[in-house]
Structures are given as C-alpha cells and as structure tokens.
C-alpha cells in the first residue's frame, strides 16, 4: 500500500448543535425550527474527518479494507489524488491510494474483480484539471497484494463526469456505466479474460451524473433533461424522465424514486404523481442523497449540498418537506454521499466534500 506518511488527523468533534431552520418559504414551521430544538428526527453530529488541502471533487463509501468490517471513505482531489479515510483507534487514518495524472470528478465503489474488498471506479480527466479541456478517462483502482493499482478502462474524448455500477447485462457481475462531456453512455464489463467497453448510445447533451435506476440508469444532462436508459434487445433504449430549463447536476435513486439536484437550485423528487420540487436553493446544487437516514421517521429522507456551502436535510417527503441546515462549509460543496460506516457505529452517515478540501462527516441521530 502506498502509505505515504498517512497523517493521522485527530477527529475534531464539533458536536454540531444544528441550527435547524425552515429554509424554504413554503415549508411549515414545526417544533424542529424552534430555538434550541434539533432538526426533524433529532440532533446530528458533525465531524471534520480530514483537511486535504485541495478542491475535492467526489466521495463515496466502499469496503476498501476487507479486513475491517464495513465501509471506508474514498475521496478525490483536484490534483488527481485518491485517498481512503478509515476510522481506526479513534482517529481517521488518511491513506493515498493513487495519484492519477488527471483530476477525478466521480468515484464509485463495488465488487468488480472477485477478490475480497471493493474496487473503485474513478471518472475524470485523462490528464490535467477539469477546466483544462482535453480527453477524459475512466479508471479502475484495484487492491492487490502490493497495494493499489490503476488501469484505464476507457479513454474518452472529453471529461468523464458520471459513473455508476449495476449489472446491466444480468450476468450476475457488476458492470460500469459512465458518461460525461463526450455525450455518450458507455458500458464497461469484465469478461472471462479482460474488460471490454462499448458505447450504448449517444446523448443529446453532456452528462453530469448517472445512477442505477429501474434495471438501467438515469442520467442528469446539462441541457435540463433527465433520461432513463435501459437494456433493450441487446442495445439500449432511452426515455425522458424529466425536463427543465436548468442543467441537471446530481442524481440519487431509491427504488422507483429519483432525486434530482439542479443548477438553478431546485431539488426535485420524482414519484407516482410526477416530479415535485422539494426545495429551491439560491445557488447551484451539487449533491443528492435519498435514503432512510432516520429509521424513526416514516419514509425516506433526502439531502443535498451546493455552492452555498450548505448541507441540507429534507424530511417528511411524503407531505410538505421540512428543510434543515445541518452544516455550512466555508466554500462551495461539490459532492455528497450517504451510507453506513460500521467502524463508527450504527446509523446512517452523510459525507460532504468540496472546494475547502474538508471531508465533513455527519452522523444521523439514533445510530
């Protein structure tokens, strides 16, 4: 493992007494918004897991260390660095897994090689930074006996901005779906001998995000469309899920539902009754999480982050959603992940990263 002097960062417990505020004018006032009361569902705790000193583009939860039960964190830096953050002996241990030649924008993890532990898939630039232009790259990071190794799955004509894992061809093995500024949906699959990559279809605009959805994927496009893509007769069938004027930036899926975070600050939840706006921020949104974050509350909860630096929690989605500000970071936030971190205990977690270089870990109440 390329353990280049991992700096142990003393976990800084800020013990956030969340200043719950009813953020959206349409949302009703509730006890959660009263002075001194926690947000809906109870008090969250905030932890600064690391300050990595550069813009952070992506984060995910994955089982990077199979010897320790549960998931660790993987974080992408604008320099091309990929770090793992693992909770060990009451501190976050930061380890550089790889230093890619290009900036990483999206990272997902899952079982891709049949060996213990999750692998990582990173989408981003082939070389240089996001704003430099040039080719993109989709890379696989695998943990071997001698540390982590990197191989390129696909060299793209432009930045790879979204990726997700799903079993597209229903052969029992996860595949990698990816898209970006090249306006193509690409599928990478591991065969008996090696990986193969094929273009599933052309897109009408650049893609910012994709997630597994309804046996295929959903894609967030910069022209305001959200498209569904699913296997059909050996190929791929596209359909429109939602359309708006503003570009779409991040997606999260849970069952049949889809959460859409947009450039105009709107946070949309699709459902039986069609798309519904849960919240509207004054700045671009750059994160989407949709999960049962509060087991004591009925239904799912949603969360988002954005360029205003705020981490927002939305509860009571089935009725009139309540919005709580869980944290305000000092700079723009760029990505949000949710899941469990067994080494930290029970319950659900949100992890936010962005331009400040800080890795913000938020723990839901009731864990």
Region near Ca ion per CB under 5 A, out of 115-123, 145-153, 204-212, 306-314: 115-123
> What letter does residue 132 receive in the DSSP assignment?
G
Q: How far is the CB of 299 from Ca ion (least distance, A)?
A: 29
- In the bound state with Ca ion, the residue whose beta carbon lies nearer, of 118 and 263, is 118
Q: Count residues contacting Ca ion (CB under 5 A)?
A: 12
Q: How far is the CB of 114 from Ca ion (least distance, A)?
A: 6
Q: How far is the CB of 117 from Ca ion (least distance, A)?
A: 5
- In the bound state with Ca ion, the residue whose beta carbon lies nearer, of 257 and 340, is 340
- In the bound state with Ca ion, the residue whose beta carbon lies nearer, of 42 and 110, is 110
Q: Does 113 bind Ca ion (CB under 5 A)?
A: yes
> How far from the centroid of its chain's Cα atoms is residue 187's Cα?
19
Residues 6+ apart with CB under 8 A from 214: 228, 230, 256
> What letter does residue 7 receive in the DSSP assignment?
P
Q: How far is the CB of 358 from Ca ion (least distance, A)?
A: 23
**Under 8 Å between Cβ of 154 and 186:** yes
Candidates 7, 17, 26, 115; binder of Ca ion (CB under 5 A) is: 115
223, with CB counted inside 10 A (0-12, 13-18, 19+), is middle
> What letter does residue 224 receive in the DSSP assignment?
S
Backbone φ/ψ region at 231: left (φ over 0), alpha (ψ -120 to 50), beta: beta
- In the bound state with Ca ion, the residue whose beta carbon lies nearer, of 169 and 331, is 169
Q: Which of residues 235-274 bind Ca ion (CB under 5 A)?
A: none
Q: How far is the CB of 88 from Ca ion (least distance, A)?
A: 10
Q: How far is the CB of 200 from Ca ion (least distance, A)?
A: 13
Q: Which of residues 48-67 bind Ca ion (CB under 5 A)?
A: 63, 65
- In the bound state with Ca ion, the residue whose beta carbon lies nearer, of 111 and 277, is 111
- In the bound state with Ca ion, the residue whose beta carbon lies nearer, of 171 and 331, is 171
**Under 8 Å between Cβ of 82 and 100:** yes
**Under 8 Å between Cβ of 251 and 220:** yes
3-state secondary structure of 344: helix
Q: How far is the CB of 190 from Ca ion (least distance, A)?
A: 8
CB-CB neighbours of 366 under 10 Å? 15
> How far from the centroid of its chain's Cα atoms is residue 244's Cα?
22
Q: Where are the beta strands (DSSP E) in 25-159?
A: 45-51, 56-62, 72-77, 81-88, 91-99, 104-110, 119-125, 136-144, 147-156
Tell me the C-alpha distance between 61 and 74, whole Å.
Answer: 6
Binding to Ca ion by CB under 5 A, coded x per residue (else -) over 168-187, reads -x-x-x-x------------
**Under 8 Å between Cβ of 272 and 308:** no
Q: Which of 150, 152, 172 is nearest to 160 (CA)?
A: 152
Candidates 2, 3, 133, 167; binder of Ca ion (CB under 5 A) is: 167
- In the bound state with Ca ion, the residue whose beta carbon lies nearer, of 66 and 271, is 66
Q: Does 79 bind Ca ion (CB under 5 A)?
A: no
**Under 8 Å between Cβ of 315 and 322:** yes
Q: How far is the CB of 64 from Ca ion (least distance, A)?
A: 6
Q: How far is the CB of 44 from Ca ion (least distance, A)?
A: 23
Q: Does 152 bind Ca ion (CB under 5 A)?
A: no
Q: Where along the sequence are the contacts to Ca ion (CB under 5 A)? A: 63, 65, 68, 111, 113, 115, 117, 167, 169, 171, 173, 175
């Amino acid at each position: 493992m390329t353990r280049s002097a991992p700096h142990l960062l003393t976990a800084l417990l800020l013990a956030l007494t969340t200043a719950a505020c009813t953020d959206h004018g349409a949302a009703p006032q509730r006890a959660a918004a009263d002075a001194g009361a926690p947000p809906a569902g109870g008090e969250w705790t905030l932890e600064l897991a690391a300050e990595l000193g550069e813009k952070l583009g992506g984060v995910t939860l994955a089982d990077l260390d199979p010897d320790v039960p549960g998931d660790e964190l993987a974080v992408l830096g604008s320099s091309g660095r990929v770090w793992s953050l693992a909770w060990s002996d009451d501190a976050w241990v930061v380890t550089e897994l790889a230093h890619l030649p290009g900036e990483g924008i999206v990272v997902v993890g899952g079982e891709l090689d049949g060996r213990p532990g999750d692998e990582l898939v990173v989408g981003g630039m082939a070389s240089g930074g996001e704003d430099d232009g040039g080719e993109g790259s989709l890379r696989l990071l695998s943990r071997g006996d001698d540390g982590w190794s990197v191989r390129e799955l696909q060299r793209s004509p432009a930045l790879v901005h979204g990726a997700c894992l799903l079993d597209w061809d229903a052969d029992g093995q996860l595949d990698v779906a990816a898209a970006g500024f090249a306006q193509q949906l690409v599928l990478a699959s591991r065969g008996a001998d090696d990986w193969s990559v094929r273009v599933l279809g052309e897109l009408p605009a650049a893609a910012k995000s994709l997630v597994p959805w309804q046996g295929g994927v959903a894609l967030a496009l910069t022209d305001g469309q959200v498209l569904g893509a699913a296997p059909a007769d050996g190929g791929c069938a596209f359909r429109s899920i939602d359309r708006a004027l503003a570009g779409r930036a991040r997606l999260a899926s849970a069952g049949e539902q889809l959460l859409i975070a947009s450039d105009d600050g709107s946070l949309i939840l699709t459902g039986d009754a069609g798309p519904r706006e849960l919240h509207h921020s004054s700045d671009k949104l750059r994160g989407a999480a949709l999960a049962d974050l509060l087991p004591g509350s009925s239904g799912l909860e949603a969360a988002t982050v954005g360029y205003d630096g705020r981490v927002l929690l939305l509860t009571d989605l089935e009725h009139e959603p309540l919005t709580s500000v869980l944290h305000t970071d000092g700079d723009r936030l760029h990505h949000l992940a949710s899941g469990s971190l067994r080494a930290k205990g029970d319950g659900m977690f949100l992890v936010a990263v962005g331009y400040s270089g800080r890795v913000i870990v938020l723990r839901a109440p009731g864990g």
